[in-house]
Amino acid sequence: MPIYEYQCKACHHQFEALQKFSDQPLTECPECHQAALEKLVSAAGFQLKGAGWYATDYKGKGKAANEGSDTSNDKPVGSS
């Protein structure tokens, strides 16, 4: 669910509200109780948590492939 920012035109109180896309915009200010709320336009933000696609699929692939190829040149020196 997205977080929307609101500001009251009457008392200039700003706050955030967690709402569904299908929810109607809020109209009444929780501070002054007037029907003067305005939905603000703000940058969307998100955070990846847990074992997401980046950590499991891309984070260490290049490093693991390169480490394995360097060991093929290390051969023990034996007597012939």
pLDDT of residue 14: 96
Q: Return the domain boundaries, the chain.
A: 1-44
pTM of model > 0.75: no
Query: Who wins on pLDDT, 15 or 71?
Result: 15
What are the pLDDT digits (tens) for 29-74? 999 999 999 999 887 656 556 665 665 556 555 555 555 555 555 5
Q: In the numeric block, which tokens belong to residue 69?
A: 């190829």
What is 1-44's CATH number, 2.50.20, 2.20.28, 1.25.40, 2.60.40? 2.20.28
pLDDT of residue 42: 80
pLDDT of residue 41: 87
Task: Classify residue 48 as exposed, middle or buried by CB count within 10 Å of its CB (0-12, 13-18, 19+).
Answer: exposed
pLDDT of residue 43: 75
